[in-house]
Chains A and B, each alone.
Chain A
């Protein structure tokens, strides 16, 4: 059982251009399943390896159970880590791989045997116990790596993208399995991923990171409903959120949003945003919040031509040409820089019953309560 906290932690790799972590603050509660998510290169692995004691801390303090752990050797932390590469010991059988940590810590042979057997049963590895890792499939190796961690009942589990080397179906299955095992053992778990689906479905709380800083720490629900800034808004949710430029104007007593030819009444947001009247603002609308309007064009209705329609079965993903509205790029993630050259389209995820086909003109509405607002200068949510 352990509570782990980062206090103003920073990391600069020797020879590294930018800092891998800057002023990182995060407290992982005892028994919690915390997911660290962010685009690749944002410092997730670095943070995780610091907890394990495998990476030197350049500044700040790391505490495990309120004890400063900056210089504690990995073996004195009693933490188990599942590596992205699995890092199985190639010269040992599955049974010996799982038993390794117990043996090193001097457990009794009969205890070891019993625990290995139990763990193997839990992970359905019993029939492979005598095999070497080279003769296992990817999914089996992944389970051995899990078993090696589970068998020890450590202070905390650390997992670095444990599912990224599996195919999609197995990934979905293991996702649920890992979450189940964690709830079962109630051992503090830090799970690193760049996959927002894993982040949303597995953790009690999710820490979103970008460029070595913590963007937001919250429950999955809150991240989706109340993102702290444009980065979080665009990183969480698929397909990604639409950003548009707009101006707040006075309208029939309350504030309204003017967005090109559109005029949205702001409803419940009006009071909060009234101080910003007359200034520019970034509007975020999730594709799934756009609905096909039953009654055609109107003041709160977007009219647009469907440039491209992706039929996803239950839903249709519409890529819309919307003239007169400046549409921002949803993803400011570094990986997606290539996409910047493509003119952004407004995306809408609508029920397939709408039967929209290419080149159709569609009218869309959105519940004003679901619209998100951001400061154009800082990107922070308003």
Chain B
């Protein structure tokens, strides 16, 4: 019995390790290009040893306003996340506690919004944003991404709230809360792990999103994802410079995932019973 489970653990860990390495390999490659001298990046066979240099970073900072790019990315993802949660969490709650028999249908309808190809909505949205003068600003991307993400958040939170027995909110009502008080003080903290998962999802989506800001932003609102993918081939930008720039696109999201993940695990194990 014990030996079987030991063998299983070894098997599981090995699998996890192999999968992790497979996923990390391209990242390592990308990162390493940033520290290689330009003439060694494409050397065949790839060289495992090289003299690290910061030249690529100097080039990146000379060619891009890195701080502005990162700031745009942060504003767009935070804005999208906040707005999506602000709309999606109460909407999911309302649907979950609704006595209408169409509430589940509605929730799936919201999920369907998330499923439509974004490009189909992008063109009419582009025209709308142009007409109200928001085209080119952060707002255009935030609103568009919120539309997609908030539908998803609504659906996710619908399932989280649906799984939460209404007793606790009812206890809060008899304890003297208003409906709104019961929602904020009891229901929301009880599904904290779900909210964090949604936030993480929205952040990742917006941070990595390329297509929408590409269409909807102009130079000064451009996030780092757009800069990265449109830069190659223009000016004197090399793979090495891109590798350096990619640091600023990857590191924040990795850090955030690490921090949020801790809250996520905490939230998931905090529930009663």
Contacts and interface: CB of A to CB of B under 8 A. Distances in A.
Given A85-B165, A85-B167, A134-B271, A74 B174 contact: yes
Contact of A81 (B174, B185, B186): B174
Interface string A1-24: 000000000000011000000000
A246 interface: no
Contact of B270 (A52, A53, A77, A90): A90
Contacts of A101: 175-176
B170 interface: yes
Interface in B12-55: none
Interface residues of A, number: 29
B168 A87 contact: yes
Contact of B272 (A15, A52, A133, A152): A133
Interface in A108-130: none
B272 A90 contact: yes
Interface in A138-173: 148, 152
Contacts of B181: 104
B272 A100 contact: no
Interface string A215-237: 00000000000000000000000
Given A87-B168, A91-B190, A79 B174 contact: yes
Interface in A75-92: 75, 77-81, 83, 85, 87-91
Given A132-B270, A133-B272, A134-B272, A89 B177 contact: no
Contacts of A83: 167, 170-171
Contacts of A87: 165, 167-168, 170-171
Nearest to A13: B99
A54 B174 contact: yes
Nearest to A85: B167
B192 interface: yes
A105 interface: yes
Given A87-B168, A134-B273, A75 B174 contact: yes
A133 B170 CA distance: 17
A88 B190 CA distance: 11
A166 B175 CA distance: 24
Given A54-B170, A85-B167, A134-B270, A90 B177 contact: no
A90 B192 CA distance: 11
B78 interface: no
B82 interface: no
A104 B186 contact: no
B173 interface: yes
B190 to A, nearest CB: 6
Interface in B71-125: 99, 101
11 contacts: A14-B99, A54-B174, A73-B173, A74-B170, A75-B173, A83-B170, A85-B165, A89-B190, A90-B190, A90-B272, A91-B190
Interface of A: 14-15, 52-54, 73-75, 77-81, 83, 85, 87-91, 100-101, 104-105, 132-134, 148, 152
Given A81-B170, A152-B175, 16 more contacts: A73-B173, A75-B174, A75-B175, A75-B177, A80-B174, A83-B167, A87-B165, A87-B167, A87-B170, A89-B172, A90-B270, A91-B192, A101-B175, A105-B176, A132-B272, A134-B272
